[in-house]
Every structure is written in C-alpha cells, then in structure tokens.
Amino acid sequence: MSSSMQYQPASNQHDQYRPEWVREDFVDFIAEKFNPVWAWKKVKATIIKSRAIGQDFYQIQLRPNRNFKQQQFKAGQSILVTVDIAGVRQQRSYSVVKFLANGDMIIAVKQQGKVSNVLTQLAFGSIVELSQAQGEFILDNSSEPLLLLASGSGITAIYSILLEALQPSKRPIDLIYFTRDEAFHADLEQLHQQHVQFNYHYINTVARKQHLTAELLEGLVPDFQQRQSFACGANAMMQSLNQIFQDLNISAQLKQEYFQIAVDESLEVQPIIFLRSQQTFEAKSNLLESAEQAGLKPTHGCRMGICNTCTCTKVSGSTKNMLTGEIDHGSNTQIKLCISQAVSPVTINL
C-alpha cells in the first residue's frame, strides 16, 4: 500500500521548533509576587511622596527599579508614565525635574488630563511603569550665554536644563517664566541668590497681563539675539516666540519643546486610509486622535512628538507638522501621527 504522506527528517523538525524556555511576562508575574517593583526588563517605580507646588500642580517623587538607566539621562528629557485606568493602560509624557542623591526621580504633574488626574491621586506605595528617558530637548557642550523661556508646566523641562547649566560653568543665564501661580518660584529665587550669572525674570500673569514680545525680550535680555535659547510652554507663548525669532532670522538658535499642540481649526476634514489594515476614517484633529475616535488603536507613546513610537510611513497625501507648521507633500515619508494633521486625503502604511 502506498502513501502520499511525507515525513521530514527529525533534525529538520528540531530546527523548526525553538521553544521559548523563559518568558518575560511569566518571570515578571512571579517576581511581583515577592516585590511589586521587581521585573526582568520593565522599568517600574514606587510613588514615594507627593506635594502640591501650585494650583492643580504636584511634584511627585518616584523610586525606579534597577532597570532604569539613570546614567543615560540628560537634563531636559522626559519619561513615559503608564497607569491602569479602568483596566486600560494609559500613557503620558512628563519631564524629569531632577534626581535626588539616592536615585529617586522627581517629576511635576499638572492635573490637565486623564493620566495626570489619576497619577496625582495614587496612594503612596503605588506602582507605575516608566519608559527610559527620551527626547532631544537637551543642552550641548557649548558655553555660550543661555536664554531660557517657560510658561505654565513647561517650567519642569526648563528647570531641569537650568540645574544642569549652572553646574559646570559661569555662562550667563537668563530665565523668563510666565505663570499663574508660584510653582518652583521659591526654588528659582534661591538659585538666583546663589549664582551671580543667573538672572531670573518672574512674570505672574494674574497680577500682570504681559505677553511675550520682542520689546519685552530686548528689555529683559538685551543680547538675546546672540544667545542659545530653550523654550517650553503653552501654545500662545510658543507661537509668539517662533514669530519673533523668524522675523529676526535667528530660529536656528532656538530649541523648543511643546506640552500643548494646537490644532489648525481652519483645515477641512480629510479622508484617511490605513493601507494594511484596510481602514478608513475622517481626520479633523491630529491623525492619532482622529484614528482613535474612529475606534482604531495605532501604537503610540508620548502624544507630543517626542518618543517616535507612532512614527509611520505616509504613502501619499499632504500633512502639516503641528509643531513646526511645515507641510509635507512627499510620498513614502516618515511622519508622527500625534503631531500630524492632514491637509489633503492621506494614505498611511498601517
């Protein structure tokens, strides 16, 4: 009797089957039974304490496990914090203010979103998951004079950069800080008293309705056009600053980070195609939020254009970078969903 069944040699069968003897999720499951912060690779952190530093603004002390690579952190960078909300893992990006001598991390959280509200209400001893430090909003090795500008919770990244800049050199540093409360104000005043090269310009926007103008910059920091500048803050300040620097043709001297991304309300709703998943939807806000509103779940992280998690290939169509205003008409180019807004029908390789 003949048979059409064919058998592969045992050696080939063995080559094809490679069991995964140790699974990371299993190790983490066992480890957290002994200590909830233990993990094989994941960065977990314990909430040590929290204190209010302004209206709806909290400073939170985190103690990361050994998987966090503190030695690779650079002032101005941020981390993604993941919390569980109604059984769904949610992430948000926060700038690292500083590290304490014992390795604890300080972040500042403004209650202005789902993750932030939950994070500020977690009990001491609660465990959260962190990413490694990320972002390019960092100092270089230059010793030239600095101009730092901050508004609102943008002070967290700027404060971190200030601490770093004050350490190695005597370079002149000016900080202009627009705020409705006194978050970090006492600390900044103390640094001003301790460092003769540091000038601190505090503008309480409740007591003084002052907007950023070229005249204000020239009055406070006469040589600002010759300085390396770092800025982080609300959209109104950032728009004014960019316009000033563009008019003076000194935009190359400005490094900036946004914590609010403004949608261009003048743009029309555009049809979007996710090619591989064969999904279509309409986009009015950024492409990430529009996809989520349509029930899709693209991979993402910081939602602020920092972490690159939502980077994907735009096959065709035109998009606007919501941070820079640049229009990308190219085909097969890389875009970040969280900071891209469609200005024409767009096809994306997702």
Q: What is the pLDDT of residues 121-161, one digit of tens each?
A: 999 999 999 999 999 999 988 889 999 999 988 999 999 99
Residue ranges in 195-274 assigned as alpha helix (H): 214-220, 235-247
| For residue 311, pLDDT beyond 60 | yes
In contact, 199 and 224? CB cutoff 8 Å: no
Contacts of 303 (CB under 8 A, 6+ apart): 91, 92, 93, 288, 338
Q: What is the pTM assigned to this prediction?
A: 0.76
Q: What percent of the chain has pLDDT over 70?
A: 88
Distance from C-alpha of 91 to C-alpha of 94, rounded to nearest angstrom: 10
Q: Give the residue-averaged pLDDT of 241-269.
A: 87
**Domain span including residue 55:** 24-130
Say yes or no: 153 and 238 in one domain: yes
At residue 305 the predicted structure's pLDDT band, cuts being 50, 70 and 90, is confident
**CATH, residue 98:** 2.40.30.10
Say yes or no: 175 and 114 in one domain: no
The tally of domains found in the chain comes to 3
Say yes or no: 165 and 121 in one domain: no
15 domain residue, yes or no: no
Whole-number pLDDT of residue 40 = 67
Indicate the residue among 208, 236, 258 that finishes a domain.
258
Indicate the residue among 258, 279, 305 that finishes a domain.
258
Is 10 in a helix, a strand, or coil?
helix
Say yes or no: 252 and 161 in one domain: yes
Indicate the residue among 258, 281, 313 that finishes a domain.
258
At residue 4 the predicted structure's pLDDT band, cuts being 50, 70 and 90, is very low
| For residue 11, pLDDT beyond 50 | no
Whole-number pLDDT of residue 21 = 58
Q: What percent of the chain has pLDDT over 90?
A: 64
Neighbours of 249 (CB within 10 A): 9
